[in-house]
Amino acid sequence: MKISPLAPAIGGRINDCDLAQALEATQTEQIRKAFLEHAVLLFPGQTLGHQDQLNAAQIFGESGTLARPKEFQPKAYGSLPDGIMMISNIREDGVPIGSLPDGEMMFHHDMIHREIPDKATLLYAVEIPSTGGDTWFASGCAAYDSLSESWKKRLEALHARHVYHYGSTQKGDKKGTPAFGEAIHPI
């Protein structure tokens, strides 16, 4: 297993690691340390089933459950193990089979609307479009570290209110804050 940085502020690439296979304790410890150092990890060339994805998530701790209430889950979710979310633009009989079928998501932090946000999120891409579908990552730690001491002092007492609605209030689809909750976290 070889770990190398992707960029100075964020990201590490882990080569020669098959997440579909049982990993040794030393390997999982290396992966955990790499996560703490790089915050985002890329494991290229993986072929993972649902259980493989859940097993990989266990490297970072106990798997969470989906925050989306059952009545708002797309129909394909009935065939998925708890803890796996499917993002897809495929429709069957005009109905989306997965979440977020209408294009790009706004910039966000996964599960930040929870009182205790998830430690990590795994993203497994099965088919990537030739255009669009971009996934970007940013380091809040690097951004904070780059601030002057006076700015850091100004931010000390501030908090932000995080809500999950992804434009639901504009669409009027009632899938927003009341269904998913909100949380206030320090900046």
Tens-place pLDDT, residues 51-82: 999 999 999 998 877 666 677 777 777 777 88
Looking at this protein, which amino acid is placed at residue 43? F
Record the pTM: 0.83
Q: How far is CA 170 from the centre of its chain?
A: 24
Per-residue pLDDT tens digits for 107-131: 778 888 888 888 898 999 888 878 8
- Tell me whether residue 8 is in a domain: yes
Q: Residue 48 falls within a domain, yes or no?
A: yes
Q: 160 lies in a domain?
A: no
* Total domains, the chain: 1
pLDDT the model gives residue 171: 61
* Residue 113 DSSP code: T
What range defines the domain where residue 7 resides?
1-63+120-126
Q: In sequence order, what DSSP letters do the residues of 20-60 get, joined into one string? A: TSPPPHHHHHHHHHHHHHHSSEE-TT----HHHHHHHHHTT
Establish if 151 belongs to a structural domain: no
Residue 50 lies in a domain: yes
Strand partners for 99: 87
Quick: pLDDT tens for 128-186.
Answer: 878 877 788 999 999 999 999 999 999 999 999 988 775 665 565 555 545 567 899 99
- DSSP string spanning 45-109? T----HHHHHHHHHTTSS-----S-GGGS-GGGGGSPTT---B---EETTEESSB-TTSPPPS--
* pLDDT of 2 above 60: yes
Q: Which residue has the higher pLDDT, 153 or 86?
A: 153
Half-sphere exposure of 75 (CA within 13 A, CB side): 8
117 close to 181: Cβ distance less than 8 angstroms = no
Q: Is 6 a member of any domain?
A: yes
